[in-house]
Amino acid sequence: MSEIVTAGILVIGDEILSGRTKDKNIGFIAEYLTNIGIDLREVRVVADDEADIIAALDALRHRYDYVFTTGGIGPTHDDITADSVAKAFGVGIDHHPEVVARFRDRWSEQDLNEARLRMARVPDGAELIQSATILAPGFKLGNVIVMAGIPSIMQAMMDIVAPKLKSGVRMLSDSVRANAREGDIGGPLRDIANAHPDTIIGSYPFMDEDKKPNTNLVVRSRDPEKLNAAMTAVKQMLAGLNVAR
């Protein structure tokens, strides 16, 4: 039996919900996790609201092996992620001496104000996620990985934390362009899906370069032989199609 490792993402921020900022982190983390053999099962986006953050965090962290959060770890009053995570876990939170020491190297006494010191607040027992190029650290507490909202910083944090995560057998995938309308292959595709229960077959319509409705078919499985068998069946089905587009 291959172990399956699961994850959820929690995006924190009013600016995403107002539409002012368009999230770029969900897609990045989703692809990243697929590549390292972790199954992303659910994403939630909530406001900068302590009760909402804690409720979502508790739902996700008890259900999945890992939870990745983005956003809300900056220096301003609306950055409440670290405090909310501490509260969810029922642990204390304080200025982390190692982070404060790094901040003192970086900033003058005058610049190291209360706002900046907020970024050194880390829940008790958390492991820092930091590097020379990351100003304010992220952290990992239990199975929750807390990261910045700014995509470039979040991505650097993923690179640091990823090697420390357990990962399962990677979900493999293969895709084929059907050159057919989704509605013309839905029936036979369902039969193939039913005949290949250990695979996941997805159908994704798009308009092709000739402005014709076309379809990408994606077969996913952890077992390369089962993946191949299902993909072979899909290709045979497509070769036998005789419909005008």
Chain residues binding a copy of itself by CB under 8 A are 11, 14-23, 26-34, 39-48, 52, 56, 74-79, 111, 113-116, 118-119, 150, 171, 173, 182-187, 189-190, 193-194, 200-205, 218, 220, 243
The answer for residues whose C-beta is within 8 angstroms of residue 211's C-beta and 6 or more apart is none
* 155: number of Cβ within 10 Å: 16
Q: Name the residue nearer to a copy of itself (CB basis): 32 or 95.
A: 32
Q: Name the residue nearer to a copy of itself (CB basis): 41 or 95.
A: 41
- Tokens for 39, please give them: 């199954």
Pairing mode, strands 127-129 and 144-147 = unpaired
- Tokens for 122, please give them: 């880390």
SS (H, E, C) 34-81: HHCCCEEEEEEEECCCHHHHHHHHHHHHHHCCEEEEECCCCCCCCCCH
Q: Name the residue nearer to a copy of itself (CB basis): 8 or 123.
A: 8
Please report how close the Cβ of residue 125 comes to a copy of itself at its closest, in angstroms: 26
Please report how close the Cβ of residue 40 comes to a copy of itself at its closest, in angstroms: 5
Q: Name the residue nearer to a copy of itself (CB basis): 46 or 126.
A: 46
Q: How far apart are CA 49 and CA 81, in angstroms?
A: 9
Please report how close the Cβ of residue 47 comes to a copy of itself at its closest, in angstroms: 7
Please report how close the Cβ of residue 32 comes to a copy of itself at its closest, in angstroms: 7
